[in-house]
Every structure is written in structure tokens, then in C-alpha cells.
Amino acid sequence: MKGVLFFVAVFAIASHVFAQKVTVTSRASKINNESADGYSSDLDANSEDVRVALGKFMKESGKTKSNGDMITIAEPVINGTVYSKGFLYATVNGSDVKTRVWISIVKNQWNAEEAETILKDIEQMVYRFGIKYYKDKIQLDIDQAQQAADAVVKQTQRTQNEGKQLQNKLTANDQEKIRLEKTLEANKLEDLVLKQKIVNNKKSLDSLANSLEKIKTVIDAHKEKQGKVN
């Protein structure tokens, strides 16, 4: 029950957290000493969590290969189109609280028309990842909150059942108390009756003993009289 109350307190605090907003920024850098263009987004998140999530997300675009902070996708599938040449590159850099995701291409690996199209798709890809990451994290909070709610419901049901059992036991106890009180009263009355019968029995014994003595006296008198017959 203490665990349930802890979850309730945590979720009450969490409910006041402001919703995150995903902002995508055009960014150029170097990959393997070559100029690369792409888009990045800064997320309020742990870098290791983001790295794992991005790895799963990029698998939607093809077979991924990870090398440290770099994820490389060869022959990528972008917006439903399969490209037989060129690579997508995705990197994650950050800390426990702030992480930058960057997805890019090296333009000289593509023709100019493809590069411009892919860059537009990358912008949407980065945005979609940011949205998905935040929503997935919030879903975990929702799932945990639901688990806590389910635990409260179950605990409530158990507590209600316990209350009914206690009430039934109390009713049975009260009934037993009434029965015992009646039995005690009957016992007291029977005790008085038995005591009186014992007194009466003692009187009867005394009377019978007295009668027996008188009868013995009469018998002795008759025996004496009988002895005088000649």
C-alpha cells in the first residue's frame, strides 16, 4: 500500500511537468572528414536512452551499423523510396539531461536532386523521431500510472472484501455474545434451582433418618415384647 501511495505522489508531481516541444534545426558538420548536411534536434533526455531509441528508429530506414555514437544506413529506404547508393548517418551526443540527435548525408555521395529531396525527408525524419521519443517516454509514464491505478483498484477491492469479512465476523460475534448471555442467565437460574433442590434433599434425608430412628425404636419395642412371651 505504501508503494501505491508513492506512485500516486510521483504522478501527482509529474502531472505538472510542461509538455516538450520538438524543434528541428539545419546543421552541417563533418563525417569521416567529409562535409555533411542534415538536421538536428535537442531533446530533454538521457543520451543513452536516446541512442537506443534512435537505433531502433533508424532500422525503419534499412539495415543499420553502429560505430560508437555513429549509426550508418546503407541503401536506405527514405519516404518509401529505396536508394541503391549513398548513406544516411545518425549521431547522438549529450548528457544525462540533454541530448542532440543529428541525421545527415554526405552530398557528394548523391546527385544534387536526390540530395535536396533526401534532406527534406531527413528534416521530417528528425522531427518524427523527436515526437516519437517523447510520446514513447510519456507512454511509459502512462503505463506505470495505469499499473499504479490497477494496484489501487485491486487494493480497494481487497480492502472492501476485508471490511465485509470483518463486519460479518462482528455480527457473528454479537450473536454469539447474545447466545452466551442467555446461556449464562439460564445457568444462573439452574444454579439456584439445583441449590434449592440440594437443600430440599438434605431436609428429606434428615426427615428420613429421623423416621428410621423412630421405626427402629418401635421394632426394638416389639422385639422386647416378643421376648416376654412364655
99-131 burial by CB neighbour count: b if 16+ within 10 A, else e? bbbbbbbbbeebeeebbeebbebbbebbeebbe
Q: Is residue 54 part of a domain?
A: yes
Question: What are the two backbone dihedrals, phi and then psi, of residue 41, each rounded to the nearest 5 degrees?
Answer: -145, 135
**Residue 212 CA from chain centroid, whole number:** 89
- pLDDT tens digits, one per residue of 72-93: 999 899 888 888 888 999 999 9
Q: Supply the pLDDT for residue 219.
A: 87
Q: What is the CATH number of the domain that holds 84?
A: 3.30.310
Q: Is residue 216 part of a domain?
A: no
How many distinct structural domains can be found in the chain? 1
Extract the C-alpha cell encoding 65. Answer: 551499423
Q: Is residue 89 part of a domain?
A: yes
Share of the chain above pLDDT 90, in %: 61
How far CA 4 is from CA of 8, 10, 14, 226, in Å, comes to 6, 10, 15, 108
Specify whether the CB–CB gap between 63 and 81 falls below 8 A.
Answer: no
How far CA 182 is from CA of 168, 176, 188, 195, in Å, comes to 21, 10, 10, 20
Q: Supply the pLDDT for residue 9.
A: 54
Specify whether the CB–CB gap between 62 and 75 falls below 8 A.
Answer: yes
pLDDT greater at residue 213 or residue 103 = 103
Q: Is the predicted pLDDT of residue 69 greater than 90, yes or no?
A: no
Specify whether the CB–CB gap between 87 and 105 falls below 8 A.
Answer: yes
Cell 439456584 belongs to which residue?
192
Q: Supply the pLDDT for residue 68.
A: 78
CA distance 207 to 32: 132
Closest CA to 5 of 155, 137, 139, 162: 155
Q: Supply the pLDDT for residue 223.
A: 87
Domain of residue 50 covers 10-145
Q: Is residue 130 part of a domain?
A: yes
CA distance 96 to 23: 19
Q: Is the predicted pLDDT of residue 8 greater than 70, yes or no?
A: no
Extract the C-alpha cell encoding 142. Answer: 502512462
Q: Supply the pLDDT for residue 16.
A: 45
- pLDDT tens digits, one per residue of 41-63: 999 999 999 999 999 999 999 88
Q: Is residue 5 part of a domain?
A: no
Q: Supply the pLDDT for residue 212.
A: 87
Q: Is the predicted pLDDT of residue 162 greater than 70, yes or no?
A: yes
Q: Supply the pLDDT for residue 1.
A: 57
Q: Is residue 152 part of a domain?
A: no
Burial of 140 (0-12, 13-18, 19+ CB in 10 A): exposed
Q: Is the predicted pLDDT of residue 3 greater than 60, yes or no?
A: no
- pLDDT tens digits, one per residue of 121-130: 999 999 999 9
- pLDDT tens digits, one per residue of 193-228: 989 999 999 998 888 889 888 888 988 888 888 888
CA distance 20 to 100: 14
Q: Is residue 203 part of a domain?
A: no
Q: Is residue 207 part of a domain?
A: no
Share of the chain above pLDDT 70, in %: 92
Average pLDDT, the chain: 89
Please compute the mean of the pLDDT values over residues 89-98 and round it to a whole number: 92
Q: Supply the pLDDT for residue 13.
A: 47
